[in-house]
Amino acid sequence: MNSQLAWEMIRVSFRASRELQDLLPQLRDQCSPEEYKDCAHGIARAIHGINTALIDKALASHPELESRIESELAEVGRID
């Protein structure tokens, strides 16, 4: 894969993870504690899966993108 595709994988991964995390407050407010705990664990597993399947693979092919991730997170606090 080329660097541009690897960066797109990273961007999509961060966006998907962010959207999953954004569900947590609604789940906490509208679900029972047991339901929330189950959903929160599911979200954590999903984010881990995204990281493993996409981000780790992209960085394995293009380790130089790690510094770009760190730079963007430091500059704007997120990857867009």
Give the tokens for residue 3: 């660097």
pLDDT in tens, 7-31: 999 999 999 999 999 999 999 999 9
Contact 79, 73 (CB under 8 A): yes
pLDDT at 80 over 90: no
Q: What is the pTM of this model?
A: 0.86
pLDDT in tens, 36-74: 999 999 999 999 999 999 999 999 999 999 999 999 999
Give the tokens for residue 17: 């993870």
End-to-end, the C-alpha distance of the chain in Å comes to: 20
